[in-house]
Amino acid sequence: MAPPPITTALTNVLTVILDGSNWAKFVKNFKVFLLGLDALWVIDTGPGTEADHLSLDRMIVPHLYFHVHEDYQYLVEDQASATAAFKSLKGHFEKSDMTNRIV
């Protein structure tokens, strides 16, 4: 069985460009996109071993890449999966948020 198509209606849900100041809003927006694909595992557990999940995980990467400001695209561009790309973004922005809260 093939992974679900990523339709224009779903891509229209991705309205937030991650620019470094809006991590929480971006994550909420990205979760809605993933929910439409039945792919919340991207930000939770990873794709597992199912072929459809692995394929969809790779298909989501370009959508994630183009919804990140160019200053931060380096965090996504070399990642082979959306799960890895999201972990990279999360590591960067949640670390930044914690530093800002402490100071």
Task: Quick: pLDDT tens for 20-42.
Answer: 999 999 999 999 999 988 899 99
Rounded-to-integer distance, Cα 9 and Cα 11, Å: 6
Residues in the chain: 103
Place 9 in a pLDDT band, splitting at 50, 70 and 90.
Answer: low
Residue 16, number of CB atoms within 10 A of its CB = 17
The neighbouring-strand residues paired with 18 are 68
Instruction: Look up the pTM and report it.
Output: 0.82
| pLDDT for residue 103 | 46
* pLDDT for the residue numbered 54: 87
